């Protein structure tokens, strides 16, 4: 870049045009880079949302095939991450972190949900990190603790939806399991010292209400479950579902 600014002792002329032209060049580079990152970040967020929808479609029977499909989608997303990672090297990581962090969080939300469906457990930070390693085992993108924490906070929303779905299908055990999982997750979050205006403090509210919804659903299950044996209740629900289906077909 040719930006010649003469070394001038105090009082010598500064050419404003030259100076501001060099400013323009630097600023344009910065704005363009930021825009590229935001665009990529948006694409990644969109794909991660699709991945979450895919995971919600999983049933006990279809789980394996869905996990396979998810694996291809994950690769696709990670390719985008790898493309954008060159813009985020060195100093620029924190400079543009705000632009890329929604994408990182959404992706963590997706893979942590898949991890729960497959293994019934919380994805570890290490295994999140290992997603962002290239073939030569080099970390191409750093994941901050706060992004991990925020991504997992969003996971509670997905798990709430999943649990309510399970209730709809009459799968009590699954709903109760989610409830337990969310509770132990919540305990860890409660132990964290959260600054008042941070994004995490806003998410904590959401987490609490997610847990409350699941707890209420579990309560309803238990209280009705006490009226009939569990199998009987499941039978009623599935019969009712069949009945509804056949009504729709009739129409």
Angle between helices 172-191 and 145-169 (to 10 degrees): 160
Q: Which positions from 79 through 98 interact with other proteins, judged by CB under 8 A?
A: 90-95, 97
Comparison of 92 and 165: residue with beta carbon closer to other proteins: 92
CB-CB neighbours of 219 under 10 Å: 11
- Residue 184 as a binder of other proteins (CB under 8 A): the answer is yes
Q: Which stretch binds other proteins (CB under 8 A): 1-9, 46-54, 70-78, 239-247?
A: 1-9
In the complex, what is the shortest distance from the CB of residue 25 to other proteins, in angstroms, rounded to a whole number? 8
Task: Identify which range of 106-114, 141-149, 160-168, 213-221 contacts other proteins by CB under 8 A.
Answer: 141-149
C-alpha dist (Å) from residue 38 to 77, 81, 96, 244: 15, 12, 9, 45
Stretch that binds other proteins, among 145-153, 156-164, 207-215, 229-237 (CB under 8 A): 145-153
Can residue 50 be called a binding residue for other proteins (CB under 8 A)?
no
> Does residue 22 belong to the site contacting other proteins (CB under 8 A)?
yes
CA–CA distance, 7 with 9 (Å, rounded to integer): 7
# of chain residues touching other proteins (CB under 8 A)? 50
Any contact of residue 36 with other proteins (CB under 8 A)?
no
Q: Is 23 near other proteins (CB under 8 A)?
A: yes
- State the alpha helices, DSSP H only, in the chain: 16-56, 63-85, 92-95, 97-119, 125-131, 145-169, 172-191, 199-225, 230-250
Tell me if 223 contacts other proteins by CB under 8 A.
no
Tokens describing residue 167: 């209730």
- What is the Cα Rg of the chain in Å? 25
* Contact call for residues 50 and 101 (beta carbons, < 8 A): no
Among 8, 65, 82, 201, interactor with other proteins by CB under 8 A: 8
121 binds other proteins (CB under 8 A): yes
The answer to the question of residue 62 lying near other proteins (CB under 8 A) is no
Note whether 12 binds other proteins by CB under 8 A: yes
Decide: is 222 part of the binding site for other proteins (CB under 8 A).
Answer: no
> How far is residue 164 CA from its own chain's centroid?
19
Residue 247 is a binding residue for other proteins (CB under 8 A)? no
Q: What is the b/e burial string over 141-170, where b = at least 16 CB atoms within 10 angstroms of the residue's CB?
A: bebeeebbbbbbbbbbbbbbbbbeebbeeb
Q: What angle do CA 119, 123, 128 make, to 5 degrees?
A: 130
Distance between CA atoms of residues 121 and 117, nearest Å: 8
* 127 binding other proteins? (CB under 8 A): no
Q: Which residues bind other proteins (CB under 8 A)?
A: 1, 3, 5-8, 10-14, 16-17, 19-24, 26-31, 90-95, 97, 120-122, 124-125, 145-146, 148-149, 177, 180-181, 184, 188, 191-193, 195
């Amino acid at each position: 870049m040719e930006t010649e600014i003469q070394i001038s002792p105090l009082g010598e002329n500064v050419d404003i045009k030259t100076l501001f032209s060099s400013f323009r060049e630097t600023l344009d580079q910065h704005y363009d880079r930021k825009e590229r990152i935001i665009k990529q970040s948006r694409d990644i967020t969109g794909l991660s949302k699709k991945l979450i929808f895919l995971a919600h479609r999983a049933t006990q029977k279809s789980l394996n095939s869905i996990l396979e499909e998810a694996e291809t989608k994950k690769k696709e997303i990670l390719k985008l991450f790898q493309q954008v990672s060159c813009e985020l090297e060195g100093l620029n990581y924190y400079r543009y972190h705000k632009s890329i962090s929604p994408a990182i969080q959404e992706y963590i939300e997706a893979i942590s949900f898949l991890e729960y469906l497959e293994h019934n457990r919380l994805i570890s930070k290490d295994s999140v990190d290992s997603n962002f390693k290239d073939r030569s085992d080099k970390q191409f993108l750093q994941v901050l603790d706060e992004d991990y924490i925020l991504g997992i906070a969003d996971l509670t929303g997905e798990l709430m939806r999943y649990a309510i779905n399970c209730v709809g299908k009459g799968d009590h055990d699954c709903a109760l399991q989610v409830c337990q999982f969310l509770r132990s997750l919540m305990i860890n979050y409660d132990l964290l010292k959260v600054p008042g205006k941070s994004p995490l403090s806003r998410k904590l509210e959401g987490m609490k209400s997610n847990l409350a919804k699941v707890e209420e659903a579990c309560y309803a299950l238990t209280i009705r479950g006490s009226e009939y044996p569990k199998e009987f209740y499941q039978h009623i629900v599935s019969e009712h579902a069949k009945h509804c289906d056949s009504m729709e077909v009739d129409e």
